[in-house]
Chains A and B, each alone.
Chain A
């Protein structure tokens, strides 16, 4: 018995020593010395033969206990060593959560195009086709075919840039309506995005801005469906609690014509600076396709009806991101672009 107690004591002292200066070598040495094939604990096992049969079970139990204890102690300092090594394996003595990380440079998509792509995915998901038209247009497509004859006062509604008497920078994306209706047969479901131009420039008007035009032509298309379609779209764009309202207006190529307002998402309709205290933001115009437009495009206005809508992507982007001035969108200022 005393030999077991002796070895146990000796082992425990050795473990303490190794614990103070941990290394994988000293642990290994210890392991070999006590638990190796020729180790001291294994030696005790071998000495079983010289023990009387009566004492043998007690002696055997005591050795097993010592072996388990040794195994545990060694595992313990092994874990300790591993833990110390992990702690050491860093180039930082301590971390500073407030230090910025090293960042791979990232860029950004222009907010206007983010909104544009969002609009595309929404409407393509509904089965609309994207149509891209030209920006410099003949008088025919920009005005006449849209029911705006040369001496119509509606021409005053838009300040037009002219290239010559018969060629203009398009003032609206509605020119696409005509191109599409001339080249295809109904049913039509079209989204036509693009830049449009107005000879006007101040804090809320840019001489160039982006519009999206929608056109649906089929046998039973109604104003009620126009309202429903726009309603699901504004909910997609501005959230489920948005409200939409329609005011009578005038566009030569639609009748009835309406302006649409959404409830101000910043003040939830209570009134703020952005919505000029009205609680509403004007986002675009819409209406049923005027029979004259169908006629000019060669579509039977008795058989087919349709609706069209157009809104400024700039305006929607400004509302969505709280951008106060339209000029910021085209200033190409890092301090602006970085924020998106």
Chain B
């Protein structure tokens, strides 16, 4: 809510600086979000007197003026029609800076030198008018900077009012808090009705009929005749202008003014446009509609509360008025509505019809139910005063029995107060603090329990805890001491998923990968890029009803698109080497589980790895290694070792394709024979769909899936202190024979003391037939208790060679 400090000062004396006031309000729970001081960006503008004013010899509309700023005399050419000698004006000297950074320079206007400018209000950011120069009261000393002229430069504050403080949605409400804090008097406007004209004869009346008392418990109206609708008086225009509101006409301006001042919305009908003599407060019927003041037809149904006449709905109650009964220049008689509408009803219909007005905003948060009639009187008086209208002398009131007629009583136990706040506050201090904001102690309290009456403007205070909060707020949270709770000691550990995620994160970062973090939004556009079959489960996504944009319309069913986009962006920034991993969630529908307490959506935590470009960074004497399939496989193998999976659970890799992976370079990862992920080179079509030129390697592992299998910590195995004996072998086989197959052909289980078979290299090309490869192995033997002899090792090696020779697929090199 935007407020003007000058306006606020009508209700309370403020003797502190703007910054201090802002700080006070913030610590009272009315957060000041922004302060805008008029004239803050202006320099060199002072009060000055016009000494003389003569017509310009060469221009009809210009005058040549002499002004005195208290020190010097200047000659100025001025184009304003209202400039005269003997005025006190605002004068911008040469070198002054006006609003928008406009600088005043010495100049010649139609041949006459001009040493500055006499300012209009728009040039100083004080208002919108450019019709003439601003004139000030003659008692202002020439030379006074404009910022120091009393009442000239206003300060505007943007207040953030939380939903529990509807009382602060008005000038009086804010002033009440300020007055209580600084022990000042709250200056309320005179709320009495106008004096009645004895000759008043018009007995127009309207019957009020609340058909829906649970939606509107109090509806009041006054009738004012002989109204002259026209421009508002200057003070009213300026008041509205001070917070950026436009003047419409005197009647509308008064209702707006009182809404801002008191927080009570109201609405004026043109009495002559009301069909019949009855106004109904009722729910709309299906098929009814109303043309509202925003010039839109609102289609209504039973959920809408309307003010209707005999012709049908005239207003959307508490939200916006209707065109058919609108006040305009020709209006002579008014029906002025001031009412109390139920907050949820107003909120629902404002939301349903997509409008929020100053009125609906206040009704939905709750207005003062005890003040409705007083505000009706006050409005009636302002309107009769300003428009010259006559009040019929009668206030029409329809009140439901449910409407509160007195203040609420709420009890507070001092023992509970100190239990919640952790501090004991004196009974007398509690009572004094609350009394300042009109919360008064009732007689007849016992030692611990106090009763308080709650004023109507605080609908939020209903329970003991609400009073405790008020006490804490007024006491100032920062005056409550810091204490520490005392707990029973109990050991805690991270949940498994969090522990595993942390372990993966630390391991992969140590392996040279960077942890990415993507927004968890995706798009069908990206899923369409993945070569997926039409019936793919991945298309059955969790969709947002109100996405911010098309790129973020679904929750991801796959993390890969997000990472490919990230790699693409990096490559565009000439960041060619990408080594990313991310731990994120994928979402799947599971509608069978849906209940009021279960959204029916599966959230699966996944790890994704994405590599492209160089693996080792290029240094000044070595070339970088380029990422390939086996680099990614190696990363996964290391990862599984670190997180303890290949021990008690079996980890396997098998050739298996994914639509978005290269058909010749993709594998599945299985833990205890259950697939938990895949990896490989991204399919060339998918690469080009994502605008990528370089190969990318992606792995996706389900962390949720991994957690179903046991991991284990390493268990020490004794090792031999005796030297090993190594033998090498070069074996040539066809391309179709895998490393694993080849090993299976060797009688390794019978090879005593064999510690390890290492694959050193794979050779293809010169000296070998096409479609064959030479695998170079080292066999490492070691005995636990002695050094092995060449003889015993050779014997085993010969046996291996022999078995392999029996295979027609195998030859030696």
Residues of B within 8 A of A257 (CB): 469
Bound Cα distance from A128 to B493, whole angstroms: 9
Bound Cα distance from A154 to B343, whole angstroms: 12
| A330 with B485, Cβ < 8 A, contacts A156-B163, A224-B480 known | no
Residues of B within 8 A of A207 (CB): 519, 521, 548, 552
| A187 with B163, Cβ < 8 A, contacts A104-B512, A107-B508, A201-B548 known | no
A308 to chain B, nearest CB (A): 13
A138 to chain B, nearest CB (A): 5
Residues of A within 8 A of B483 (CB): 222, 224-225, 227-228
| A130 with B494, Cβ < 8 A, contacts A105-B512, A223-B480 known | yes
In the bound complex, do residue B487 and residue A224 qualify as a contact, i.e. CB atoms below 8 Å apart?
Answer: no
Kindly report which residue of chain A lies nearest to residue B499, judged by CB atoms. A130
| A110 with B516, Cβ < 8 A, contacts A163-B542, A229-B485, A250-B163 known | yes
B145 to chain A, nearest CB (A): 23
Residues of B within 8 A of A329 (CB): 517
Residues of A within 8 A of B621 (CB): 102
With beta carbons under 8 angstroms apart, the residue of A135, A206, A333 that contacts B569 is A333
| A163 with B544, Cβ < 8 A, contacts A108-B514, A137-B599 known | yes
Q: Looking at chain A's contact residues, is the secondary structure mostly helix, strand, loop, or mixed? A: mixed
Bound Cα distance from A105 to B617, whole angstroms: 6
With beta carbons under 8 angstroms apart, the residue of B26, B473, B492, B603 that contacts A130 is B492
Contact code string A112-145 (vs B, CB < 8 Å = 1, else 0): 1100010010001011111110111110110000
B contact residues, range: 35 or more
Give the residues from 223 to 277 in chain A that come closer than 8 angstroms, CB to CB, to chain B: 223-225, 227-229, 231-232, 245-250, 255-259
* Among B259-267, B314-322, B368-376, B418-426, the stretch in contact with A: B418-426
Q: Does B31 contact A (CB under 8 A)?
A: yes
In the bound complex, do residue B497 and residue A187 qualify as a contact, i.e. CB atoms below 8 Å apart?
Answer: no
Residues of A within 8 A of B478 (CB): 245-246
* Among B39-47, B578-586, B685-693, the stretch in contact with A: B578-586
Give the residues from 453 to 500 in chain B that come closer than 8 angstroms, CB to CB, to chain A: 463, 465-466, 468-469, 472-473, 477-478, 480-485, 487-495, 497-498
Residues of A within 8 A of B493 (CB): 124
Q: Does B705 contact A (CB under 8 A)?
A: no
In the bound complex, do residue B596 and residue A99 qualify as a contact, i.e. CB atoms below 8 Å apart?
Answer: no
Q: Does A315 contact B (CB under 8 A)?
A: no
8 A–B contacts from the bound complex (CB under 8 Å): A136-B542, A136-B555, A163-B543, A208-B519, A227-B482, A248-B27, A333-B569, A335-B575
Name A's B-contacting residues (CB within 8 A).
Answer: 99-100, 102-110, 112-113, 117, 120, 124, 126-132, 134-138, 140-141, 151-154, 156-157, 161-164, 166-167, 169, 187, 189, 195, 197, 199, 201, 206-208, 216, 218, 220-225, 227-229, 231-232, 245-250, 255-259, 288, 290-291, 305, 329-335, 337-338
The 9 closest A-B pairs by CB, nearest first: A224-B422, A222-B422, A248-B29, A105-B512, A250-B162, A332-B566, A151-B344, A246-B477, A228-B482
Q: 20 additional contacts, CB 8 Å, given A228-B484, A305-B419? A: A106-B510, A108-B509, A120-B498, A124-B494, A127-B490, A134-B601, A138-B595, A153-B347, A154-B163, A161-B545, A162-B545, A207-B519, A221-B485, A222-B483, A223-B480, A224-B480, A225-B485, A257-B469, A291-B465, A332-B517
Name B's A-contacting residues (CB within 8 A).
Answer: 26-29, 31, 162-165, 343-344, 347-348, 364-365, 419-423, 463, 465-466, 468-469, 472-473, 477-478, 480-485, 487-495, 497-498, 502, 505-506, 508-521, 542-548, 552, 555, 563, 566, 569-570, 573, 575, 577-582, 585, 587, 595-601, 603, 615-617, 619-622
